Amino acid sequence: MTVLPQLIVSTLLLGGIYALIAVGLTLIFGVMRVVNFAHGEFLMLGMYLALFAFARLHFDPYVTLVLSLPISFAVGWASYRGVMRPIVHASHNVQVFTTVGLSIALQNLALVLWTADARFLRTDYYAVVVRIGGAAFNVAQIVAFALAVALTAGLFAFMRWSYIGKVMRATAQDRDASALMGIDTDRVYAITWAVGIACVGAAGVLLAPIYPVYPTAGLQFVLIAYVAVVLGGLGDMAGALIAALAVAAVEVAGSYTIGTAWKEVLYLLLFIGILVVRPAGLFGQRGAEALGT
């Protein structure tokens, strides 16, 4: 029996979640020109939120997703006001050190609150396997993929057709001109940061039933997000989406042919190879100055 259907399905299921993480990261960079090195820690907080709601409140993780969006948005808004707002116009060095410091602080906060032990969220349907054609996958993966795609599509629609989305795109293209036209750029930055954190927080909830939860759990996923964002072209949401699927394809195919221990090596080699040919990324000309336009 051919393994191609299984590899394709696994790529799509994994790539859909990677895309949700990556588009939130590229949204923040595209509008604010800030690389959020604490992105993985906000994903980790989303995973712990799902774990807490399941263990203490007996909420299904995908029901918790409804709660995670406003909670993550509020956390994002508060972290912008308290941490990012003072440095959003500072040098890139200050921004990098600030977000790295935020990352370390959140990791250690999680370590103090929940210890370093890996925890597992196992629902009744975790081990339920669905077979279609030559592919097999569990229900948790299907639901996570479907919800991740729906949220990603919703974000694209929000950016394309809503008034706030248009304002965010205008600010991304020219901050000074937007301010002269009466746009409150500080409020736009707060919304942008909060929406990006809501995306990655939702991704954390979706990943919690599939992967173990521990204080540094976000690092493995955010590394992939960084690769996807740079490959797609900094600030280009469509490019990040395509690059996330490409990274997932390399990871799945490499894990099957060589072994799971080599998956990071393979997508980093892809990362280096594409940047050698196209230093600006796959959609670098557009992504450098526009946000998915």
Residue 288 has pLDDT above 60, yes or no: no
How does pLDDT run across 153-210, given as a tens digit for each residue? 999 999 999 999 999 999 988 888 888 888 999 999 999 999 999 999 999 999 998 8
Residue 141 has pLDDT above 90, yes or no: no
**Tell me, what's the pLDDT at 276?**
83
Over residues 205-223, the mean pLDDT reads 90
**What local confidence, expressed as pLDDT, does residue 289 receive?**
42
Q: Which of 31-40, 72-81, 207-216, 241-250 is predicted with the least confidence, judged by mean pLDDT?
A: 241-250
CA distance 227 to 35: 12
Whole-number pLDDT of residue 284: 60
**pLDDT for 246-257, tens place per residue?**
888 888 888 878
How far are the Cα atoms of 44, 117, 207 from residue 217, in angstroms, in the given order? 6, 11, 10
Which position has the higher pLDDT, 288 or 147?
147
SS3 for the chain is: CCCHHHHHHHHHHHHHHHHHHHHHHHHHHHHHCCCCCCHHHHHHHHHHHHHHHHHHCCCCHHHHHHHHHHHHHHHHHHHHHHHHHHHCCCCHHHHHHHHHHHHHHHHHHHHHHHCCCCECCCCCCCCCEEEECCEEEEHHHHHHHHHHHHHHHHHHHHHHHCHHHHHHHHHHHCHHHHHHCCCCHHHHHHHHHHHHHHHHHHHHHHHCCCCCECCCCHHHHHHHHHHHHHHHCCCCHHHHHHHHHHHHHHHHHHHHHCCHHHHHHHHHHHHHHHHHHCCCCCCHHHHCCCCCC
pLDDT at 204: 93
Cβ atoms of 267 and 228 within 8 Å: the answer is: no
Residue predicted with more confidence, 259 or 245: 245
Confidence of residue 269 (pLDDT cuts 50, 70, 90): confident
The domain limits of the chain are 4-287
44 falls in which pLDDT band (50, 70, 90)? very high
User: What percent of the chain stands above pLDDT 90?
Assistant: 45
CATH topology of domain 4-287: ABC transporter involved in vitamin B12 uptake, BtuC (1.10.3470)
Highest mean pLDDT among 4-18, 88-102, 135-149, 215-229 belongs to 88-102
